[in-house]
Amino acid sequence: MRVVLQRVSSASVQVDGQVVSEIGRGICALVGITVDDQEADLDYCARKLSNIRVFEDQDGAFWKKSVMDLDLEILCVSQFTLYANTFKGSKPDFHLAMKSTESRDMYELFLNKLRASYNPERIKDGVFGAMMQVSIVNEGPVTLTIDSRIRG
């Protein structure tokens, strides 16, 4: 599983010109699921995403607070393109991305794990499988990657 997170001032998702989800300050997480992901991958990424310290504390010291510490929001957006192979030719190859039916179930389980570990009202998401317009106001800019296959 791969999550690209951005610390944001705000973020939103539109489908067919309608805002379906939006957050204020927090994290926007682009979520990719690969063909061999298991529940342990979801657990790892959910834990890292909700606990990663990308915000400053009350004294302005950076890298001290998480979304949970500050009661901020997380907007998750499913994005199979995170597993695109671009090494050969000009056309991306998506064979490493989990197929839609399976990945929908895994993505929902991931959201449920996030909601169970934090305030469920603070976890938002887009529309799985839809053509979405994602607006992100990256704060910092801060952009990090969490990958369940690369653990320290």
Query: What's the pLDDT score for residue 151?
Result: 74
Q: Is residue 37 part of a domain?
A: yes
> What is the C-alpha to C-alpha distance for residues 85 and 71, in angstroms, rounded to an integer?
36
CATH number for the domain harbouring residue 103: 3.50.80.10
Q: Is the dihedral of CA 141, 61, 25, 2 positive or negative?
A: positive
DSSP string, 1-17: -EEEEEEEEEEEEEETT
pLDDT along the chain (152 residues), means of 10: 98 97 98 96 96 96 97 97 92 93 96 95 96 97 95 68
Q: Is residue 105 part of a domain?
A: yes
pTM for the full model?
Answer: 0.94
Chain Cα centroid distance, residue 52: 12
Answer yes or no: 79 catalytic: yes
Answer yes or no: 80 catalytic: yes
Phi-psi region at 69: left, alpha or beta (left = phi > 0; alpha = psi -120 to 50)? alpha
Q: Which of 6, 55, 79, 110 is catalytic?
A: 79
> What is the C-alpha to C-alpha distance for residues 48 and 91, in angstroms, rounded to an integer?
32
Query: What's the pLDDT score for residue 152?
Result: 62
Residue 44's H or E segment, with its range, is: helix 39-51
Query: What's the pLDDT score for residue 93?
Result: 93
Q: Which of 81, 86, 133, 145 is catalytic?
A: 81
Q: How many domains does the chain have?
A: 1
Q: Which domain holds residue 13?
A: 2-147
Q: Is residue 152 part of a domain?
A: no
